[in-house]
Structure 1
Amino acid sequence: MTSIDRLISLCPPPPIAPPTDWPAVERLLGMRLPADYKQISDTYGPGTFCGFLHLYHPHAHTSWTSLIGPMPSTIRTQLQREHEQGASPLPVGPQDLFPMAVTDNGEYLFWVTRSGVSPDEWTVAASQARSFQWYTYDGDLAGFLTAVLSGQEIVSLFPDSLLDHGAFFTPRAPAAHLTAVQPEQSSAMASSSDIRAWASDHGYEVPVRGRIPVEILDAWQQASTR
């Protein structure tokens, strides 16, 4: 039984997931992607594991959780800046970290993409939202998800209540088309202070510092596009 088979058995996917033109996605990103990630994305589609972990997807309903949206580039730029300032002790160089998921608490999950290593051999790393603590997993994404959702792997950055309701996946309506956000579009997006102010005005509890929770980013984007 493969890691994907074990994941599907542990956490049933929705009956239908949108197809993805992976050659087009890889052209947009300028790199190849791991086979297990593409299988997971094709099986589950965009959505959330255990109401907590949002795997980036090319058809994500919001650019904040899109693999081809602004967030991967934005996060890598932030990591590079913190690394140059000596503020963030990274498990590897920032150029070898590619964001591919985010949690509701603001932790980012990364592929460790060492030069010369096949995408199918990329491992997993995660950063804590409001500190410089890191977690690493010496295996692929499918193995990581299976280990975490089965309770075999405990990630100290994740809440103890993660599996209180078992392993489940909540699908989200996919975006209709693959649309990459260009750098000039990304830079034109609202600042975090603007989003915090909007959230406060609309009754959301938003931290004054640290990462803004995904559900607030999602609500802001939906309101701003109406």
Structure 2
Amino acid sequence: MIDDLIGTQTPMRCITDPEEAIAVLERAVPGLVEHRRPVPAVLDWALLEEGLGTTLPADYKRLAEWYPTFALGDFLLVGLPEPGGEHYGLRGIRDDLEGVIQDWWDADMSIGLRPHPAPGGLLPWAESNEGDKFLWSATGDNPQQWLVTIASRNGGWWHYEGGAVQFLAEYCDGTLEPWALPPVDPEVTPC
């Protein structure tokens, strides 16, 4: 079974409120607030979600409404859709699914985890400049309960049982152990 092959980290408390998760991230990455939009962006989530065939997690959606795409520590790129550019975001996700993630599956490097839209399939939401992928394991009908799945460039795979925004906060503040990842500098650069 796949779960026997992959480690899992569980936060002390899962943050389910998207606004609270963003506040925790803003505390972990103080410079992030400088890039916050004055009002939340209006994004065409229907276009993205219909194109992917699934609803996306609420914390990620709220992060995209408040922030543009940004990099953390010149290492981790958090790609977020932009108003009016949702079709580009969809194309980027599809390219990732048809490219790297499918290649991992074909080469038997994904430890049995399949790309989306397979049941429980991997859906990318961020990447590092060294080839690490940050994904969701899209298991079940509730995206708020999807596992964050990390695929490090050196072959290490692991899950995190919190949302993507909480993962970012705990990765930056050192709360979670960055298995197979380097520590990240919480300096933020808008992209």
Matching residue's letter, 2:144: D
Residue aligning to 1:121: 145
Change (3 A) 1:50 1:71: same
Q: Distance in 2 between matches of 1:124 and 1:134?
A: 11
Cα RMSD (Å): 2.5
Question: Which has a greater percent of strand?
Answer: 2
Equivalent pairs counted in the alignment come to: 159
**Greater length-normalized contact order (CA 8 Å, ≥ 6 residues apart):** 2
SS at match of 1:120: helix
Residue aligning to 2:7: none
Residue aligning to 1:140: 163
1:110 to 135, 138, 142: 135
Is 2:21 the partner of 1:3?
yes
Deviation per residue, 1:153-190 (Å, 9 max, x gap): 12132224x23xxx232112xxxxxxxxxxxxxxxxxx
TM-score, scaled relative to structure 1: 0.62
Equivalent residues of 2:28, 2:170 under 8 A apart: no
Q: Distance in 1 between matches of 2:141 and 2:22?
A: 21
Match runs of 1:44-193 below 5 Å: 44-59=67-82, 66-69=89-92, 70-83=95-108, 87-90=109-112, 92-94=113-115, 95=118, 96-114=121-139, 116-129=140-153, 131-160=154-183, 162-163=184-185, 167-172=186-191
Matching residue's letter, 1:30: G
Matching residue's letter, 1:168: E
Structure 1 runs not aligned, ≥5 long: 173-226
Q: Distance in 2 between matches of 1:50 and 1:67?
A: 25
Structure 2 runs not aligned, ≥5 long: 1-18
Is 2:54 the partner of 1:31?
yes
Equivalent residues of 1:107, 1:127 under 8 A apart: yes
Matching residue's letter, 2:23: D
- Structure showing greater Rg: 1
Q: Distance in 2 between matches of 1:29 and 1:142?
A: 20
- Which 4+ runs in 1 deviate beyond 4 A? none
Change (3 A) 1:66 1:50: farther
Matching residue's letter, 2:187: F
Q: Distance in 2 between matches of 1:78 and 1:20?
A: 31
